[in-house]
Every structure is written in structure tokens, then in C-alpha cells.
Structure 1
Amino acid sequence: MHLIQISLLMIFPALAIVAALKDVTSYTIPNWISLALIAAFFPTALVSGATWPAIGLCLAIGVGGLLLGMGMFAAGWIGGGDAKLFAASALWIGWPAAVPFMLATGLAGGALTFGILALRSGWLEPVLAGSPAWLRKLGAQGGDIPYGVAIAAGALATFPQGALASAILG
């Protein structure tokens, strides 16, 4: 049973990494990633032994994450895929790790922004000339910030403290 629990638990970090890689290379996070995270949450929660109130609290945190993500999307701060990834991640993280998740995501977003600003500063232009197309696009002036990378980093940093991981890993 423990092997099944661990296998289901590893779905979250695997999909968070895929989302970050997709976002950094294409500035999109496919809907299937967020949908797969939501779908995988329920069997993982059930095999983790989470109580119905704990599952309900995770759902409430996920809905709160969706509302917050929608607000950030409406303000133009993040893309739609980022908002959906944020909500799906919040569902998995649950309580009490929701606040550290938001803080870690914000810090990762700041570091990502500074890194991309350095990349776009012009002093790395000779290096970017021979780089892959996605990296040249990332270094292009006036481009977007792939915030899914920051969301994935924040989620991965706080995942061990999350409701499901702590239930399974102890």
C-alpha cells in the first residue's frame, strides 16, 4: 500500500516540473496538466487516509487559490495557465502549508524576474545569439515572465509540508 501512496504522491512534483518546463519553453501551461493534478488529487487523498474534513479544507484552499489566480490574471500579472496551475497546486498543498506556498511562490517569482531582467539587460546578448529559440525568446526585450516556473518552485518547496505529503510521509 505504501508503494501506491508514494507513486500517487509523486504525480504532483512530476506534473509541476512539466508545467514549469512547458511554461519556460513555450509561455503556455497546457490545461491537461492542471486537470491531471485535480483528477489525481482525489485518489491520492483517499489512499493517504485523509479525512473528509481535511479533503474539504484542501478543496477550499484550491478554490481560494483559483479566486486569487483569477484576480492576478484579471490584473494582468499572470497568464491563465498560471492561474490554473496555482489553484491546482493550492489544492494539493492544502492547509497549513498554503501560506508558505504563497510566500515561496512570491519569492521565487521575484528571483525569476530578477534573473530574466539580467538576461534581458544586454550583457548576455552574445551568449543568447547561439542559444535555443526558447531561450532567445526568454531573453527578448519586453517579453512576458513565465510565472509557472515560480509557481512550480513554490509548490515544490512547500510540498513536503502539504496536507497529502505530510499524511503519507509522516
Structure 2
Amino acid sequence: MAGQITILVFVFFMLLAAARDAMSFTIPNWLCGTLALIFPLAAAVLGLSWMDFGLHLLVGVVALLIGMALFAPGWIGGGDAKLVAAAALWFGWPDAMIFLGKAALMGGLLAVALIMLRRAAPATGLPQRWMSGTLLADGAPAPYGIALAAGALWTLPESQIFLLAAL
């Protein structure tokens, strides 16, 4: 039961990150930090070996370094970089690579959907000021937290941590 609760906590925080990003185009530091700080407790509850725990930590650190490298030139947001690292920490090797691939695919679908919605938005007849600051605003950033959460939820059922929680 405790293992299943840890998975629900992970799902809750990933969905919260997606919702916050969709509403404000930001993913708060406390949210990513909470995901990272809860992981050692989850690892203990799920019975990860020290070797597996260390590998998860290594994957999380590498993901954070790559995220920082992508953030520096402005290719991704800072919250996105931290959320990738926090989720990769939970997934470990090789599930983090599967997560990243699925999140990238979901990011592409998100981009296409936003382009289509933004092109269709003027046809609604709503005043432009109502769309300002929303997902439909011209030039608004893509809330990639949505794609990261979708990739995580897609990856989760076949991941090591999920299988450990099911035991």
C-alpha cells in the first residue's frame, strides 16, 4: 500500500506541475524540489537497493546538468529543466531515457496543438485582451510541463518504480 501511495504522490506532483505551467507558464522551484526530496523516502518504501538508488541519483544529476545546458541559451525554461531532472531521478536508468523520448513526442504534439489553437482563436470572435496571458495568446511560450507530465504518465506503468510499487 505504501508503494502505491508513493506512485500517487509522484503522479500528483507531475500533474500539479503541468497545471501550474499551463496557467502561469512557470513551474515553481518548491514543486520540483519536493519531488526530488520525496524520492529518497519513496526509494526506501519501494525497496530500491543502494546500487539502484545511486543510479537514480546519477541519472537525476546528469538530467539536471543537461537541463541547465539547455536552459543557458534559452532553449527550455528553468522550471522545465528542474522538472526533467526531478522526474528522471524517479525513473532512473533506463526508464529515464524512455521518459525523455515520450516527453519529446508529447512536446511535439503539444506544439502542433498550440499552433492550431492559436490560429483558430481569432475565429472565435473573443476580444484579444481576453486571450492575453493564456495558452492562446500570440507569442505565448509553450508550457512544456504539460508534455513532461504526459511523458511521465505514459512511461510510468512500465517503469521499474511502478513495478516495485505493485509488489
Same fold (TM over 0.5): yes
Q: Which residue of structure 2 lines up, in the alignment, with residue 55 of structure 1?
A: 53
1:73 aligns with 2:71: yes
Q: TM-score, normalised by structure 2?
A: 0.91
Distance change (3 Å), C-alpha of 1:17 and 1:135: farther
**Per-residue deviation at 1:167?**
1.6
Unpaired runs of 5+ residues, structure 1, are none
CA offsets per residue over residues 99-120 of structure 1, 9 Å max, x none? 1111101100000001111112
Offset, 1:125: 2.0
User: How far has the Cα of 1:85 moved from its partner?
Assistant: 0.5
Partner residue of 2:124?
127
Alignment of 1:19 with 2:17, yes or no, is yes
1:30 deviates by: 0.9
Q: Distance in 1 between matches of 2:53 and 2:162?
A: 13
Indicate the residue corresponding to 1:99 in structure 2. 97
Change in Cα spacing, 1:71 to 1:153, as seen in structure 2 (3 Å) is same
Aligned to 1:111: 109
2:83 pairs with 78, 85, 102, which one?
85
Q: Contact 2:70 / 2:76 at 8 angstroms: preserved in 1?
A: yes
Q: TM-score, normalised by structure 1?
A: 0.90
Percent of residue pairs identical: 40
Shift of 1:5: 1.8
Residue 155 and residue 130 in structure 1: after superposition, are their counterparts in 2 closer, same or farther (change >3 A)? farther
Query: Which segments of 5 or more consecutive residues in structure 2 lack a partner in the other structure?
Result: none
Contact 1:65 1:86 in 2 (8 A): yes
Looking at structure 2, the residues matched to 134 and 58 of structure 1 have their Cα atoms a distance apart, in angstroms, of 41
Distance 1:128 1:109, change over 3 A: farther
The separation in 2 between residues aligned to 1:157 and 1:120, in whole angstroms, is 26
Distance in 1 of aligned mates of 2:126 and 2:53: 49
1:158 matched to 2:155? The reply is yes
Map residues 139-150 of structure 1 onto 2, 5 A cutoff: 139-150=136-147
Structure 1 position 21, deviation (Å): 0.4
Aligned length: 167
Does residue 35 (structure 1) correspond to residue 24 (structure 2)? The answer is no
How well do the aligned residues superpose, as a CA RMSD in angstroms?
A: 2.1
Q: Deviations over 1:110-151 (max 9, x none)?
A: 000011111121x332437279x5786211111211111111
